[in-house]
Amino acid sequence: VGTGSAEHTDWGVVTVIAMGETAEPALEFWGGDAVGWVGVPHREDALVVNVGDWMAVMSKGRAVSPRHRVVLGWERRWSMVLFWYPEWGFRVGEVEEEVRKGLEGKISLVEDQRDGGRGKLWDKLEGMEFGAFVEEKWSQVRRLAG
């Protein structure tokens, strides 16, 4: 048993997830220090919909993407995930300082994940094509062995 995807927030606008049934939930959301990690049970008639980091930026922090992770178990499982991003060539404008501060530590889109999220990438995001920025973000993410 290990981690299939380390703790993170999704970078796009919205993420839609269809999950197969497993004995133990494979998707977990962070419920805060008082609650800890909470497993998402499988439901035949449901999809999981996450707000992404870009929605958090567009909504000026009114909708914030949830921190979550994927846990690997011993049984086979399946999931289908749809990530909705802005179009590749979309150029991000200036993000207000108040919005930056309000989202500090809440979204991984602007965290440099090579250094544990300590480096902030707001200035790099502004003016860059969104697709190129996300491509760079994918290069920062690593899978963890179980």
The three-state DSSP-derived secondary structure of the chain is CEEEEEEECCCCCEEEEEECCCCCCCEEEECCCCCCEEECCCCCCCCEEEECHHHHHHCCCCCCCCCEEEEECCCCCCEEEEEECCCCCCECCCCCHHHHHHHCCCCCCCEEHHHCCCEECHHHHCCCEHHHHHHHHHHHCCCCCC
Query: Is the pLDDT assigned to residue 92 strictly greater than 80?
Result: yes
Residue among 9, 15, 137, 142 at smallest CA distance from 85? 15
Cα distance between residue 33 and residue 46, in whole Å: 27
- Of the pLDDT bands very low, low, confident and very high (cuts 50, 70, 90), residue 143 is low
- Of the pLDDT bands very low, low, confident and very high (cuts 50, 70, 90), residue 102 is very high
Give the max Cα distance, the chain: 46
Position 142 scores a pLDDT of: 56
pTM metric for this prediction: 0.82
Residue among 6, 9, 7, 27 at smallest CA distance from 103? 9
Query: Is the pLDDT assigned to residue 146 strictly greater than 50?
Result: no
Stretch 115-138: mean pLDDT: 80
Position 62 scores a pLDDT of: 95
Tens digit of pLDDT for each residue in 35-83?
A: 999 999 888 899 999 999 999 999 999 999 999 988 877 778 788 999 9
